[in-house]
Structure 1
Amino acid sequence: MGLDVEATRLAVYIYAFVGDPREILFRHDIHDLTRDDLLSLRYRLTPSAVVVNTLALVESRNDRRRTNATCWFLPSTFAADILRGIVWDDVHHIYQRFWMPETTTLEHVFITIWDVDEAWYMMMLDVRKPRVYSLDVHRTVENMVRKEKQIKAVLKALSLMFATPTHILNFTDSAETAIWACSWLSHSGGFSRNIFGSMGDEDTLRMRLASSIVGAQCNELRPAVDEASQATWQAFDCYIILR
């Protein structure tokens, strides 16, 4: 299947366990994620915005454990607030302290964007070059101008913090934009053109993403979920043996 033992055990608990869909399986600070939220990662479903943004939070907290963070991961609400005209003081209050840790080694900034045509795309800023990449698999002639305006608006808001990029690259491939956004977010912060290769088995990817969220170090409910998933895994294992 392509999952290690821990990821498989968590995936079984998330997907196979018949329980309360409102059960909270991830908590960090005031951010909660329920079983029902994670079930949006099931095959052929579109992952909910809260799942995409939780993955951004998980990767942000993973990177923050370094001495100096190299990446910022920003939720879709950041771009939405910028585009609706939020003032910079509110950006600092809402986002900078929580999502943008102070660092002297910043290399990349990942910004997820939920567009009006109900598709995800992502801005990836290479701070050192500087360049901005539009990681967009749903770009068309009809929406190109609008999206370029959106990107420029976000860049203008961030120009106080890093250099203005010099050009935009666009890549096209899959139509499942939410899964692509999650895949990019879970790429451990590094960036290369290999990101745009095949995602492999999509069902495995979905289970891996769900397991990585629930099994994240920043999940305050991880010990309880881990204990429950162990019990479910043992029951599942006994069922297979008995059969």
Structure 2
Amino acid sequence: MGLDVEATRLAVYVYAFIGDPRHDIHDLTRDDLLSLRPRLTPSAVVVNTLALVASRNARRRTNATCWFLPSTFAADILRGIVWDDVHHIYQRFWMPETTALEHVFVPIWDVDEAWYMMILDVRKPRVYSLDVHRTVENMTRKEKQMTDVLRALSLMFATPTHILNFTDRSPNTSGWGCILQASGIPEDLTRAETAIWACSWLSHSGGFSRNIFGLMGDEDTLRMRLASSIVGAQCNELRPAVDEASQATWQAFVRAKLPL
């Protein structure tokens, strides 16, 4: 199914209702994690936990090349959060200081309860909309949402902390050209499927190419891979306990499936 042995073992552990896999930052409950089971809709906490894992992984580099923002960033901007609060809540934790910024990933939960992703290619510079639930009716609303978020990011880019990333280009995203609708992706997925796609775009290695626009593969396999990546993340403080428990769960599963 496209999973390696470790991912398979962790997925079996998660879906077997054994143990209590949690995250060290987000209050990730069992119900949140099990929302990754087939046919259920992944919770917003799951999406943001994957953004957190990706952000932590990006920070391990000496000079981070990517920012992975939680969906609360766009939500706060769209509800008119005070600008000082944007700095306080998001800059230090989600926007590490760097001089090598290449891409910014912004998941957005629309009012119709479907997810889409905005990706900024800082080096080009270009802005992409990865939207697999777009309709004629919602495109104008989403264009305004993305424009508002981009305006906030422009202000962040222009701060003394981040301006060195823009020595040869403008930090003002209004001059980057129109928002590009990514081609080669589905256009009318269900709300549950849009969450899986958002999670998938947050869980890749951090590089960027047009391959990210393409099909992500079998959805059930994706759900298992995402669940295992959360509980197996290096930034999960309970990882040693999870690893030990998942080994025991896997052995019990193997014995049940392959009796002597």
Measured against the shorter chain, the TM-score band is 0.7 to 0.9
Q: For the residues of structure 1 that align with 2:89 and 2:165, how far apart are their CA atoms? A: 30
TM-score by length of 1: 0.86
- SS of 1:219 mapped into structure 2: coil
Q: For the residues of structure 1 that align with 2:124 and 2:152, how far apart are their CA atoms? A: 19
Cα separation, partners in 2 of 1:169 and 1:200, compared to 1, 3 Å: farther
Q: For the residues of structure 1 that align with 2:163 and 2:198, how far apart are their CA atoms? A: 18
Displacement over 3 Å in runs of 4+: 17-21, 27-30, 161-173
- Match runs of 1:56-67 below 5 Å: 56-67=51-62
Q: For the residues of structure 2 that align with 1:198 and 1:158, how far apart are their CA atoms? A: 28
Aligned length: 231
Q: CA deviation at 1:143?
A: 0.9
Cα separation, partners in 2 of 1:114 and 1:172, compared to 1, 3 Å: farther
RMSD of Structure 2 on Structure 1 (CA): 5.4
TM-score by length of 2: 0.81
Cα separation, partners in 2 of 1:125 and 1:167, compared to 1, 3 Å: farther
Checking the alignment, whether the CA contact within 8 Å between 2:99 and 2:164 is kept in structure 1 is no
1:20-45 deviation line (CA, Å, top 9, x unaligned): 79xxxxx5554231222111111111
Q: CA deviation at 1:198?
A: 2.0
- SS of 1:112 mapped into structure 2: strand
**Structure 1, 196-205 or 150-159: larger mean CA deviation:** 196-205
Checking the alignment, whether the CA contact within 8 Å between 2:101 and 2:165 is kept in structure 1 is no
Q: For the residues of structure 2 that align with 1:166 and 1:30, how far apart are their CA atoms? A: 25
Checking the alignment, whether the CA contact within 8 Å between 1:134 and 1:168 is kept in structure 2 is no
Consecutive unaligned residues of structure 1, counting only runs of 5 or more, are 22-26, 237-242
Q: CA deviation at 1:169?
A: 27
**Structure 1, 30-39 or 125-134: larger mean CA deviation:** 30-39
**Structure 1, 160-169 or 142-151: larger mean CA deviation:** 160-169
Q: CA deviation at 1:191?
A: 1.7
Q: CA deviation at 1:72?
A: 0.4
1:225 aligns with 2:220: no
Per the alignment, residue 91 of structure 2 pairs with 96
Q: For the residues of structure 2 that align with 1:128 and 1:182, how far apart are their CA atoms? A: 24
Q: CA deviation at 1:5?
A: 1.2
Q: More strand by proportion, 1 or 2? A: 1
- SS of 2:137 mapped into structure 1: coil
Consecutive unaligned residues of structure 2, counting only runs of 5 or more, are 169-191, 254-259
Q: For the residues of structure 2 that align with 1:168 and 1:162, how far apart are their CA atoms? A: 6
Per the alignment, residue 189 of structure 1 pairs with 206
1:138-195 deviation line (CA, Å, top 9, x unaligned): 111111111111111111111123389999999999x821011011111211222212
Checking the alignment, whether the CA contact within 8 Å between 2:116 and 2:133 is kept in structure 1 is yes
Q: CA deviation at 1:228?
A: 0.8
Cα separation, partners in 2 of 1:144 and 1:166, compared to 1, 3 Å: farther
Q: For the residues of structure 1 that align with 2:160 and 2:112, how far apart are their CA atoms? A: 25
Cα separation, partners in 2 of 1:108 and 1:39, compared to 1, 3 Å: same
1:100-145 deviation line (CA, Å, top 9, x unaligned): 1101110000001000011001110011121110111111111111
Cα separation, partners in 2 of 1:154 and 1:62, compared to 1, 3 Å: same
